[in-house]
Amino acid sequence: MASESAAERPALAAEVVPAQVLAALALLTVMWGVNWPVMKLGLREMTPLMFRAVTMTGGFLVLFCWYRLRGARLALDRGELLRVAALAAPNIVGWHALSIFGVAALASGRAAIVGFTMPIWTVLISVLLFGERMDRRIWFATGCTALAVVMLLWHEFANFSGNPVGVAWMLAAAVNWATGTLLLKRVSLTASTEALTLWMIGLAVPVFWGLALAFEPLPALWPTTTGWVVLAYGALINYGIAQILWFSIARRLPPAASALSIMMIPLIGLGSAMPITGERPYAADYAAAILILIALSAVLLVRRRS
C-alpha cells in the first residue's frame, strides 16, 4: 500500500497535511485493520480460496465501475499484460492466497502481526539481491522481527491446539508481498496506479476461482446473515472502498504518515479481534506486536529521515 510518489517527500513534521487527508488515512487504517478478524469470521462459513474468489470478484467489479464512472484510463499499452501478470503473481495471488491460509490457521491478530513484517523482508531482500548496505538499523529490526516470530512459534508449539504451520503461511505471504513491492519499483509501466491495481486483481480473480473449484468442496449451505455481511465487507470495503480511498490520498501523504498507518494496522487487527471473533490475545501476542512495532519504526521512520 506504499505510495511511490511519496517516497521523496519530507517527513511528516515538516509538511502540512490537510485534516481531511489524515482523517481519510485514519479511516483507511481502521478498515484494513478490522479486515483481519472479519476474514476470520468469514472462514467459519466458507473455505479460504472460495472466500478470496468471491470477495475479490466483488471488489474488482466495484473498482471497475468506479473508475469507469470517473473516466480513468484503464487500458494497458502493448506488451504490458505479461509484466502486469508477473506483478500480480506475488502482490495479489501470493499474498492473498498464502495470507488467507495463515488467517485460517492462526488467531487473526497473530496472523496480522506476522503478515506486517513485510517492510522488514523488503529491506532484507534488497540487501541480498540488490546490494543495499546492512547497517545497524537493519540488524536491529531483523533481530526484533526474528524474536517476535520465535515468540509466536513458541506459543503455537507449546499450545496443544496451536498451529505453527500458520506462522509459516504468513511468513511466506509477507515475503511474497515484499517481493512484489520491490518488483513494482523496478518494472517499467505506463499504466496508471489505478489501472495497474485493477488489472492485477482482474488477472488474479480467475486464478482464485480455478484453485477454489479444483481443490475445495462447493459450499453445502448458503451463508448466514453474518456470512453475507462479511462477504460484503471483503468485497465492498477491503477490495473496493479502501483501495479507492487509498489512491485518492496516497500522493498527498508524507512517508511518516504512511509508515504509521502500516504499523497501526496489525495493532488494530489484534485489538478488534476480541469484540468481532471472541479471540483473546496472549501475552506473547502483545510482546510480539511491540517488537514488530519497534522493528517497523527502525525500518520505516528512521530510514525515511536519513
Query: Which residue in 143, 162, 160, 142 sits closest to 152, CA to CA?
Result: 162
Between 10-14, 56-60, 106-110, 134-138, the lowest mean confidence (pLDDT) is in 10-14
92 exposure class (CB count in 10 Å sphere: 0-12, 13-18, 19+):
buried
What local confidence, expressed as pLDDT, does residue 37 receive? 97
| CA distances from residue 78 to 74, 82, 188, 189 in whole angstroms, order as listed | 13, 10, 13, 11
285-296 burial by CB neighbour count: b if 16+ within 10 A, else e?
Answer: beebbebbbbbb
The alpha carbon torsion through 173, 31, 212, 176 (nearest 10 deg) reads -20
User: What is the pLDDT averaged over residues 295-303?
Assistant: 77
CA atoms within 13 A of residue 218's CA, in its CB half-sphere: 0
Q: What is the pLDDT of residues 180-203, one digit of tens each?
A: 999 988 888 888 888 999 999 999
pLDDT at 67 over 90: yes
Joined together, the cell numbers standing for residue 281 give 490475545
Instruction: State residue 36's pLDDT score.
Output: 97
Distance of CA 12 to the CA centre of its chain: 23
With a cut of 70, say whether residue 160 has pLDDT above it: no
Q: Is 160 helix (H, G, I), strand (E, B) or coil?
A: coil
CA distance 276 to 68: 35
**Per-residue DSSP letters for 56-76?**
HHHHHHHHHHHHHHTT---PP
What stretch of H or E contains 254?
A: none
pLDDT greater than 80 at residue 13:
no
C-alpha cell of 90? 506475488
Calculate Rg over the CA atoms of the chain: 19
Residue pair 167/112 in contact by the 8 Å Cβ criterion: no
Residue 3: the pLDDT is 39
* 186's grid cell: 523496478
* In the chain, where the domains are located: 16-305
The pLDDT tens digits of the residues spanning 200-230 come to 999 999 999 999 999 999 988 899 999 999 9
Predicted local confidence at residue 15, as pLDDT = 54
DSSP 267-282: HHHHHHHHHHH-----
pTM: 0.87
Other Cβ atoms less than 10 A from the Cβ of 172: the count is: 18
